[in-house]
Every structure is written in C-alpha cells, then in structure tokens.
Structure 1
C-alpha cells in the first residue's frame, strides 16, 4: 500500500476505483496549399470524419431519455448537430472553397465554419447567434476526428470512481456532482477554490496538493480517500478497507444523529437565535437546502448556471444564457423556498471563474483575479447585466428575493449598478411586466476597500454579506487557488478579522443586516469566532446546517464572545 499526503479540502471518506483524467490536448490547425491530385483524398477524410461524428451523436441520442426533462436540452443540442452535419448547402460551400483555393482540408473546414458562424452572429437574431456556436462546436468535433484528437468527456467517468486529476474546472465538478463519485484527488487547487467549494456542497471527499498524482496511480487501482486527514491510500490491504468502511459507518450514524436538529431553530445555550442559510449554485440545490432545514438561500452563485450549461460535455460550445432561461431558474428557486428569503448574487464571472459564453468577451489579463471580473465585468458589459437584472426582477414576484452585487470596492460602483437597476425597472414598468420594486439590494463585502469604507457603503445598500474567501485572499495577497501558498491563506489573520469586525460595526450602526456567506460560515472554529463578533446570519453548504445548530446549542453568547476576543487581540 502507498500513502500520498496532500492538503485537506472537503471532509469525508471515499472508497473506489482510481480514474485518472488525462491532460487536455489543444487543437492546432495546420495551414498549407495542396496539389490538385490531393483533393479527393482530403475530401474523403472529411466525409469519413463527418460520418464518424454523426454515428457518435446518434449513439448518444439513443442513450438519452425522450421523457426525462433533464435530458431534453441535451437531446435538442445533439439533434441540431446532426442536422448541421447533414446540411448539403454548407457542405457544398466547403467543397467549392476547397477546390478553388486548394488549402488543406482541415484549414478549409475551420475557415468555412468560422465564416458561417460569424455571419450568424452578426445577424442580430439571438436564435441564429446561438446556432453560430453550434456550428463552431460540431465542426470542431469533425476537426478533432480528422486530426485524431479525442478530447476527454467528463461524462464518461464511471460511478464509484475516485477522480485523480491535475485540476478540474468548476463545470466538470458540476457534472461529476450528478454522478456517484467517491472522491477527488487533485494536484492543483486551494482549500477555498471554487472546485473545492462545490465538492463540499455536494459532499464529495476531496484532497488537493497531491503533487503529480496522475503519474503515480494507475487507472483501476483500489484507492481510499480521506478528506479530513488529507490522505490517498493506494492498493490498501483488505483489513485497511474494512477499517475505513467502519469509519464511513460511524460518520453515517453521526449524520443520522444530527437529524434531531433538522426542524429545530439555531439557538445558543442561552436562547439567542441565529439564522442559517444555504449557499447554492443550481436550482436543484434549493431542494437540498430545504431538505437540510435552511432558513433560506444566503447565496445563489449564478455563474454556476453558465458553467452547468456549458459543462454538458467537454466539447460544448459557448452559448448565450438568455433572459428567459435565467428567469425560469430564479423563479424555480424562489418558488421552491416559498416565503423564505433567497439572496441571488449577480454574475461573478472572470478571474478564476472562466465562463464559456458568447455574451461575455474573453480578455487576456496578466492578473485576472485583480482584473475585469464580477461587478466590474457586468458594468463593462451592461447588456449582460441588464439581461440578468430583468430576469431577477421578473422572478421577484414569485418569492422573497434579495439581489446582491459582488466585488464592490467603491460607493460610486454601487451607484452605477443602481442606475442600471432603475433603467431595468423603468423598462419593465413600460412593458407592463410585474415586479417587486422594493426588492432589497445588497453588496458583498469581499475586499479590504469595501470593509474600510463600509460606514459609507451603508448609505447605498440594504444589507452586507461578507465573502470571506475573497476577503482573505485580497487582504493577504494569497491566491486561494494555489496549493503552493495555501499555508499563507489564513482566515484567522488579525488583518482579516479586523476588517470583518469593522464591517459588522458599520452595519450595526446603520441598522442594516450583516451576514457571512464565505467558507468561514461553515467551519466550526470560525463559526464560534464570527458568532462572538456579533454575526447572527450565516450562509453555508446545506450539509453543514444541522451540525452548526448542534454546535451553537453548546455555547452561550458570553462564551462565544470570549473565544472571539482571544482571536481579535481584545479589540
């Protein structure tokens, strides 16, 4: 047996079969002229590739249910792809260009596909613009077949696997969450990376910082992953497997005992009430939050909607996320939660959250985490922002909605956002579309700038939500996705705690609610510190709600304040 040590990321134990995800191969299209006598040979390769891709799509179509709504979108995409591959007009255009210009067939296919897609994008028609991405995607698959490149499809991972990879995208993790995955063992990624946050939400045991792990373990080997101990055990003895099975049984019994808190309020030993909300990334997770006894949704990360859509397969093309699609998603969450509050964060794309969407331009940035991301990106792309705000306000009549802006750094930024809110409300009023005008609008406090001017920001916002992941990252100058500097990422840094305390004081003085929705809200040691600092609203992974209720029931507020004072250096 070999034991590999990493960095603990998401608690839990998994026993399964190792599945090593290969490194992605980038497609490089050669460009050169050919002789006339090479034309037929190249065209035959193209037609063979089209036939192979068509057959593969047909097989995937056959595997999808015709009645299950979850398969509906994927069926529509695949059916569109097949029609495009069989389009005689487009194929004839490719052939004419090929014979006339005498470029190699790979370059010809890429050129004509991009040319056609560009025309559709410039048509001014949303539907045709989305078909442009289908063209890019499906003929990209044809090119991969011609170049003998076979991108790995995350959907091919079998149930019961412990995934070993250098890194995973957030969209890959969303796909894996819908499977019975035993664990994740990654080389890259920090303890507060978005992949790890998702893994915690979905209850997938995860260890990061396992150097070159994909070259040290073979596919098919039996492995045990222990997220809390940060261990990966390869080819363990039968006695070791039994030992860990017993630990899994004990953890199961522990979870069963926590069900006693499921329908109870979160109250300290001396009767102080807390509100425990859930962090979610998809509409489906709202059901999970409700089942775990959440008092509402404290953070709906809407960027994961984009990731989930593009994450249908590794080959998925960039797509537009329309107002109607967003409206339906927000409406579903609000209706699921009934009269419980639902805080939806506007798009937090860019930086470490790369989104494959035609609506969002790709920027080449040397330091993307400090660049055009979150609210900055929304203000740079006001049409994207307005589309989301329209969908949010339309959905507001179906529940108890709160809207939240991410990565705020100035009062002026909030005012710019509110100007667009006013534009959207005026448009909806003119169109006679119902919405709740008094929907609360708040901000994320996740930069030192926001915390330092929190006494000014209270004048332009209805509530604060502390995003402790980015607040820690930006305050300490530590990349939270980087396992090499993970030892420097410290949420209990006095600098971070003082900024949190400053924000709480500003909120209390202005009588506006302050909550915490970062990872600190779901960890026992930090929950005690935050509670002692005066926080009474916490938003976390749904799976942590019952254990947090149990924890709070063991302490009085005075005891929690004493714990906080020790960390705060008696502020």
Structure 2
C-alpha cells in the first residue's frame, strides 16, 4: 500500500478508478498583427461567446447546488467584463502590438501575478478564478472545444494539477467519486463546490499522483487527507467497509435528523447550522437544523462587484429569516479581513492581515459601511427571531462602541417611521484569547457568546490555519484551546448567558463528548454534519461526558485527547 498525504478539504471516503483530468493545452503563437482592429474585434467576439457559456454554467450550477455557490460564476462574469482587464488587453493589442491570444495571456497573467503577490489565501485563490475566465476566452479564440473529460466513461476519482470551478460544475456529477488536486486550498472555489456537491476532496499531495495510471483503483480519504494506492485485497476491503459503514451511519442519522438532541440522561442541547444565505435553508432544514448558529453575512459582500446597499442587504437577511420560519438565527456582522477581502473597499495592504484591521475593528473604522448593515439588520429582524453578534471582539470598549452604533441606527429608523426589531439579543464571537480570558467581564455587556474555534485555535497556538504545511498544529483539540473553551463556558454560565460553538470543532465527532461535558449549550456546524452530531449526542450520558471533559483538560497533546475519547467511545471512529 502506498499513501500520498495532502489536506482533506471535503469530508468523505471514495474508492474507485483514477481519471487523470488533462485539458487540451492552450498553445498559441505571439506575433505583431497587421490589423490590430481585427484582433480587438476577435477578442470582443470571443468574450461574448465565453459570456454565454459561463452564464449557462451559472444556470446549471444554480439548479444543482443553489444560488450561494452558483454565485461563483456570477463573479466569473464580473471578471470577464472587468474594464481594467479589457483595457489592458486593448493596450497590448494596439500599442505593443500583439495578437488577441498573446494580449489576453499577458494581461490576465499580470492580474494574477498581482493577486499572488499578496500574502493572503483568499487573493491567491482568486487568481485561479482569473485564469479560469481567461482560459474560457482563450479556448474560444483558439477554437478548442474539448473539455478534457471526453474519455470519462465510469465513476472515477478525478486527479489534476488544478480543476477549475468551471471544470468541476460541468462534469457529470454521477461520474465523480472524488477530487484530488495539487493546487488550491480550503478557500478555493473548487473546494467550496466539492463540499456543496458532497464529494470527498483533498489538495496538496506530491505531483507523483499525476503519474498514477488511468483506471488504477485507489481510495481517497477526505477525513485524513490521504490518497491510497497499490492496495491488497485486505486493505481494499477495509476501506470499502469503512466507506459503507459511514454511509449506513449517515442513513440512520438522516432518518432521525428531526428528533431533538437529548442525551440518555435527559440533557438537551441545540444543534444549529452555519449558513451563507437563503439558498442554504433547504439543506439545513432537511438535515434537522434547529436554528442558525452562524449566518455569515460577508458572503453577500464577497460575491458583489460593489458595496451592497441597505435595501439589497435587507432583502437578503429577510429572505433568510423567512426561510428558517421562526427558528433563531444568529447573524454575524461583517467579518472582512484576514482571509476575506473586499477589493472594492480598497483596504490598505497589511503585512499580517489576520492580526490587522478585520471584523469589528474594520466596521468601527468604517461607520458608513457598518451603519448600512446594521440598519438592514434591524429592519429585517422586525417580527423575526433574529440575534446579532459581532466578530473579532477583544475588549469591552469595542462592544460598547458597536452597541452605540446599533442604537444610533435604531433611533434613525424609528424617526423615519420604519419598523425595527425590538429587544434583539446581542452577542459576540469569542475567537481572540484576550476575549476568552476576559469572558467574565465581557458577559456583562452581551446576551450570549459564540466561540469561533478556528480562529481561537490559530491565535492561541500562533499557527496560520490556512497554511497546509502547519495543518497538524492548528488543532482545536489542543488542551490549551480546550481550556480556553472551558473557561468561556464557565464565565458565560455564571452570568446566565448562553454559550455556543460555531467553529469546525462543533461538528467533529470526537469533540462532541468533550463539548457536551464542558456544558456547551449550542453546537453549530455545516448542515451535512448535523444528523451525525445529533445521533452522537443521543448516545451520550451527560455525567460520563463531564468526566471525559475534565480528564482531557489535563492532557498534553491533541493526539492524547483524540485517542482518549476514541477509546471511551470506539463507535465515534466509524463516523
């Protein structure tokens, strides 16, 4: 057996034949055209054809995976029509001069180089989108119609150096068992699409995987981030059994997804969904979500080419609240910065954006931006079960300042005769160690806490969670992180405040007994994880989990913690 290690970016296990995804090379000659005007016309006509094709992909994606994920291709259309890109191509055609193909390549690669020079995972991922769009136009210019998967005749695990969003969505999904790419990362659009499609995926293995022969049987483990080849009969049977067992557990959990999450000794907790908008509601409700523990509003901003106005935001929030039909929805105010940037905000370059102007810091520095969102939130929350929370809070003064802006917006709307949410609960994200350590003080200013374990782990352990080379260190099972979580829950409960977790830890099977034992009130996670999480909770005794939680707080390493919980509950290894 041979194992290639990467980073698992979409959970699941797939077993099947290799299909090496290789698109036709976009080869072209570079030359000085006799008539630049003809080249410019060729480029414009090719853009028009590419626009029709991308729009068709968008329509297909919207019907298959929902509006939020399909908005990737709306962004592609915006890139395609970007006047700066068009001006750059035109300049190279007329002034260098270059033929249309060479001008497009030079202009698009210059854009990509600028994006890749920024030390930010989000911008580097967007360079792949620019190349995807440029490739669509180039293929029209060159008259290339081959897709790269004409020979895909059986369900397979797709391997490629990079698989663009367009490639991903136009594949026949019945023929895709999993994705493995050398390039990309947790924030790439292809990764997001793979998760939406429920397809296991990993990124970042060695380039030796590109030499695996088509048809060779392999296993892809999206949980561990492993690609396994050269299996003998026993090893193959083990992966097959593991895959089938997970499917059986998921089927059983789905059948009981709408039952409450109550332990054997009668303790009930809330299991909620993390969502980006209204299109996520059907899946969340199907999987048994009892609430929305995290409504990520920044995705409405990331998918726009300009700042969404108050009315646009109001409609988006109101539609999402309506879709969840009275269930509590915790809306997080704009969390931009770090790995999420808005090009149209023209934010200054920061050497370390994760420690820079982001979250509540950015909003308090940009009051017009903040007020526009808060006005939309207050209007949308009228006669709805809406809760508001602020991200990246470190101290009391930030909470007070944010609440002052909120009250200012409330009074403005009342003066305008517009209905607003009354007595809307206000909370904060606990994702900075300073906030965790001061939770007993911060609790006096808020109605609830929601712990963001992804960033809390990153800041506590001084590890960039987007760096695949450090993925083993950015671990929320670390006892240092668990101790901070315990202290936040204790501080919140002493002041009578609800405490939830909306980071990835909430949906980790081995973490659920620990969080239960620490007294967590709400578990919020991606919708596909909800049925299994509720099933696990129903298998627990609260008294037992309290003993486990206290024990792991005294351990030394994350692996010690995981091994201890797995030994106490062996069935969790099957989920």
The equivalent of 1:352 in structure 2 is: 339
Larger deviation, residues 285-294 vs 380-389: 380-389
The equivalent of 1:127 in structure 2 is: none
The equivalent of 1:407 in structure 2 is: 392
Check the 8 A contact 1:184/1:205 in 2, yes or no. Answer: yes
The equivalent of 1:131 in structure 2 is: none
The equivalent of 2:476 in structure 1 is: 491
Distance of aligned partners of 1:475 and 1:243 in 2 relative to their CA distance in 1, 3 Å threshold: closer
| 1:212-231 correspondence to structure 2 within 5 Å | 212=207, 215-216=210-211, 224-231=219-226
Give, in whole Å, the separation in 1 of the partners of 2:414 and 2:490.
Answer: 37
Check the 8 A contact 1:297/1:342 in 2, yes or no. Answer: yes
Per-residue Cα deviation, 1:468-488 (whole angstroms, up to 9, x for no partner) = 111011001011111212222
Offset of 1:57 from its aligned partner? 2.7
Matched, 1:303 2:284: no
Offset of 1:558 from its aligned partner? 1.6
The equivalent of 1:254 in structure 2 is: 249
Offset of 1:55 from its aligned partner? 3.0
Of 170, 177, 181, 1:182 maps to 177
Number of residue pairs aligned between Structure 1 and Structure 2: 511
Check the 8 A contact 1:300/1:344 in 2, yes or no. Answer: yes
RMSD: 4.9
Aligned to 2:387, what secondary structure does the other structure show?
strand
Aligned to 2:534, what secondary structure does the other structure show?
helix
Of 387, 395, 408, 1:423 maps to 408
Of 297, 300, 307, 1:320 maps to 307
Of 360, 370, 379, 2:364 maps to 379
The equivalent of 2:561 in structure 1 is: none
Per-residue Cα deviation, 1:311-349 (whole angstroms, up to 9, x for no partner) = xxxxxxx34333333222222221111121011111222
The equivalent of 1:6 in structure 2 is: 6
The equivalent of 1:565 in structure 2 is: 550
Per-residue Cα deviation, 1:376-395 (whole angstroms, up to 9, x for no partner) = 22223333222222222221
Check the 8 A contact 1:106/1:146 in 2, yes or no. Answer: no
Question: What is the TM-score normalised by the length of structure 1?
Answer: 0.74
Aligned to 2:392, what secondary structure does the other structure show?
coil
Larger deviation, residues 449-458 vs 40-49: 40-49
Give, in whole Å, the separation in 1 of the partners of 2:442 and 2:142.
Answer: 52
Distance of aligned partners of 1:481 and 1:189 in 2 relative to their CA distance in 1, 3 Å threshold: farther
Question: What is the TM-score normalised by the length of structure 2?
Answer: 0.73
Give, in whole Å, the separation in 1 of the partners of 2:298 and 2:159.
Answer: 25
Check the 8 A contact 1:13/1:205 in 2, yes or no. Answer: yes
Give, in whole Å, the separation in 2 of the partners of 1:63 and 1:7.
Answer: 28
Distance of aligned partners of 1:371 and 1:176 in 2 relative to their CA distance in 1, 3 Å threshold: farther
Give, in whole Å, the separation in 2 of the partners of 1:228 and 1:202.
Answer: 16
The equivalent of 1:119 in structure 2 is: none
Matched, 1:532 2:532: no
Give, in whole Å, the separation in 2 of the partners of 1:462 and 1:417.
Answer: 14
The equivalent of 1:57 in structure 2 is: 51
Distance of aligned partners of 1:352 and 1:556 in 2 relative to their CA distance in 1, 3 Å threshold: same
The equivalent of 1:335 in structure 2 is: 322
Give, in whole Å, the separation in 1 of the partners of 2:191 and 2:82.
Answer: 38
Give, in whole Å, the separation in 1 of the partners of 2:172 and 2:331.
Answer: 23
Distance of aligned partners of 1:211 and 1:392 in 2 relative to their CA distance in 1, 3 Å threshold: farther
Of 389, 394, 415, 2:374 maps to 389
